[in-house]
Amino acid sequence: MSRFNSAAKMEEDLPKARFSKENIQDTFFIFSFVKPYRTKFIIGLFFLAITSGLSLLFPTLLGDLINIAVHGKASKYFGSSLKSVFTVLGCLIFSVSVLALFRIKWFAEVGEKAVADIRKKLYEKIISLPVDFFYQNRVGELISRISNDLSQIQDTISTILSNVIRQTIILIGGVSYVLMVFPDLALWFLSVVPVIIAFAFYFGKKIKQNARKTQDALAKTSIVLEESLQGISSVKSFTNEKFEIARYSKGLKGVVDLAIRNAGFRGAFAGTVMFLMFGAITLVLWVGLNKVQLGLMEIGTLNKFVFFSMFIAGSLAGFAENYTQLQKSIGATQRVKEILNEISEVVIHKDVEPKKPEFKHSIVFKNIQFVYPSRPNQTVINNLDLTIEKGKQIAIVGPSGMGKSTIASLLLKFYEPTTGSIELDGVNINSFDPTAYRKLFAFVPQEILLFGGSIKENIAYAKPMATDDEIILAAKTANAHEFIKGFSEGYETLVGDRGVKLSGGQRQRIALARAVLKNPDILILDEATSSLDSHSEQLVQDALEKLLLNRTSIVIAHRLSTIKNADLIIVLDHGTIAEKGTHLQLMTIKNGIYKNYYTIQAMEKRAEIDE
């Protein structure tokens, strides 16, 4: 079961705020995507090391300038001329600035490209996962993974890593220098470092945990946003704008509360660090100024130590802040890895594309039993035996929730049977590559999803390389050509989000045109006319008759009048075959389920005509 389903499970999975083996592996996982761009990345690291090292010269130069100006004491390395020291200082500033420009640009480039690769890999993984994964995980949360979590990872590659390296170099170089040159003052100042490190680990743990909770809450608000906008017609028809605003506001309040709580931890940590560091600097100034008054130290030398202390203090504070950001990135990485570690159903990149299996004789369901993973105690299909012969039309009827659509899902390998097997010409379909196997089918569901492009693009979705003539022929076969030509932009007409600009009948005929263009061996229709008006139903039914001619088909029907000519009608009742036969055979069964349904529907249709 996926780890996204349970908030409690998420709490259990919160990573510990320490550099464990797992956390180190997560860090290396992030930077494995940098490998293709390693040349610029390594040069950027080299420039970073140079600029960080050169920056340590600033305190020395500033201290020497003060000693030359106040005491006339020559610099050990740059002489006694203010001009020469300022010249060196100017060259240093220019060099650091130029190197920083290239370093920042290259790190940003590497970060953008590396994260783009992660996004692509993550999307490839998501799109290749089985259908059951999407039933268990909400789309809004998955989108949050691709956007919010990867943005956090991008920050790590682009800025946080360089900051940590720069601060580490400054810390090591600065601490080493002051210990060698000012051992007595350095001990006073560095005495607070262990305390700061302890606080960093404590607050880092809290910040990381709260950051993950914030990401979870943000993902939930994304779900609310997506659902309300996709179902905007329902929102409007039920006048639930205020309800949706309240629902979204409640989610945002949770995000804000968690973010504020996290800011409190960061603020407490930053305040503690500032208190300790400035307190230590004040103590050093007191000790140092006493030495200056006693003539034991020049004011420039003291300033040199103070400048180094400022550098060290800034690096310590920045290091601690970036440590917390790194903790958040590790949490985001673990979520991304959770998806990448899911078992794919489809292999996207293959050396040789598997061939579509040949359908010669029949598909046989053998003693099929099935329960959905999310409802393990409810049997949907029970002891089902069914043979679908090539070229025959099989109709499946029955009340809602009896397993009709589940049979289609099993046939398309969206799920595997709990027990039993499905065989294509004697071969278990589990032995076929899912992509190659599904090329046998075209599936037209009851609820048609059109993509937000043009009508032409939606029809060509079944065959992306199709010619205009092929697309038009498919549309004519599906009785869609006439209404398409009625639009001012014809086949280039945009259908809107999910096809919202078209009527139900128009969407249905475009879906049929898509199926015609694919020219499948087996056509599956899931209640293709159940939600249409009489005129649209007749147009779609005419298109279906052309499409079904001499083709193997499985028709899941609500309106029984549409499947009177089927070669075999299956009546499902609680997941089992209650009746089967042709229309004429089933109508002879006294008190039969099919006969009762058909009679009721015929009476309802006559009543509609009389009205």
Reported confidence tier of residue 6, pLDDT bands at 50, 70, 90: very low
Alpha helical stretches, state H, 294-390 = 299-340
Q: Give the pLDDT of residue 233.
A: 59
Q: What's the pLDDT score for residue 530? A: 57
pLDDT digits (tens, 9 = 90+) for 29-59: 777 778 888 888 888 888 888 888 887 777 7
pLDDT at residue 364, as a whole number: 92
Identify the residue with better confidence: 77 or 256.
Answer: 256
The more confidently predicted of residues 16 and 514 is: 514
DSSP annotation string for 207-272: HHHHHHHHHHHHHHHHHHHHHHHHTHHHHHHTT-HHHHHHHHHHHHHHHHHHHHHHHHHHHHHHHH
Q: Residue 13's pLDDT is what?
A: 39
Residue 243 has pLDDT above 50, yes or no: yes
Is pLDDT of 4 > 60? Answer: no
Identify the three-state secondary structure at position 486: coil
Where helices occur in 56-130 by DSSP H, the ranges are 57-71, 82-127
Q: Which of 256-260, 380-384, 387-391, 478-482 has the lowest mean pLDDT?
A: 256-260
| Architecture in CATH for domain 19-340 | Up-down Bundle (1.20)
User: Residue 296: what pLDDT?
Assistant: 77
Task: Decide if 306 contacts 288 (C-beta within 8 A).
Answer: yes
Give the torsion through C-alpha atoms of 8, 10, 11, 17, to 10 deg. 170
Place of tokens 């309040």: 253
For 351-404, the pLDDT digits (tens) are: 677 788 888 889 999 998 988 877 778 888 888 899 999 988 999 988 777 788
- The pLDDT of residue 342 is above 50: yes
Amino acid at 341: N
Is the confidence at residue 465, as pLDDT, over 60? Answer: yes
* Burial class of residue 510 in the structure, from the number of CB atoms within 10 Å of its CB (0-12 exposed, 13-18 middle, 19+ buried): buried
For residue 204, the model assigns a pLDDT of 65
**List of residues 6+ apart from 212 with CB closer than 8 A:** 10, 14, 15, 328, 331
* Structure tokens belonging to residue 409: 């899902």
Give the model's pLDDT for residue 20: 56
554: which strand partners? 394, 524
Return the CA Rg of the chain: 35
> Which pLDDT value is given to residue 73?
66
Q: What is the CATH code for 447-519? A: 3.40.50.300
Residue ranges covered by each domain of the chain = 19-340, 353-440+521-611, 447-519
Give me the phi and psi of 575, to 5 degrees please: 80, 5
Proportion of the chain above pLDDT 70, given as a percent: 82
Q: Higher confidence at residue 177 or residue 570?
A: 570
Segment among 76-80, 158-162, 359-363 with least mean pLDDT: 76-80
Give the pLDDT band of residue 479 (cuts 50, 70, 90): confident
**Angle ∠(139,450,233) on CA atoms, nearest 5:** 70
pLDDT at residue 18 greater than cutoff 60: no
Can you identify the CATH homologous superfamily of domain 353-440+521-611? P-loop containing nucleotide triphosphate hydrolases (3.40.50.300)
Give the whole-angstrom CA distance, residue 300 versus residue 118: 51
β-strands 568-573, 576-581 pairing: antiparallel
pLDDT at 529: 62
pLDDT at 424: 92
If you average pLDDT over every residue of the chain, what do you get? 77
Do the first three CATH levels of 19-340 and 353-440+521-611 match, i.e. the same topology?
no
Contacting residues for 187 by C-beta, under 8 A, at least 6 apart: none
Q: For residue 10, is pLDDT > 80?
A: no
The per-residue pLDDT for 80 is 63
Average pLDDT over residues 529-538: 62
**pLDDT at residue 567 is higher than 80:** yes
Place of tokens 């949770």: 254
State the average pLDDT over residues 292-305: 76
pLDDT at residue 213 greater than cutoff 80: no
CA 73 to chain CA mean position, Å? 63
User: Collapsing DSSP states into helix, strand and coil, what is residue 482?
Assistant: helix
What's the distance, CA 105 to chain centroid?
A: 27
Quick one: which of 466, 469, 413 has its CA closest to 439?
Answer: 413
pLDDT at residue 3 in the model: 41
Q: Does residue 14 have a pLDDT over 50?
A: no
Q: What are the residues whose beta carbons fall under 8 Å from the beta carbon of 347, sequence distance 6 or more?
A: 128, 433, 435
**pLDDT for the residue numbered 89:** 78
Residues 505-510 have a mean pLDDT of 84
- C-alpha torsion sign, points 221, 225, 230, 235: positive
Indicate if the pLDDT at residue 9 is higher than 60. Answer: no
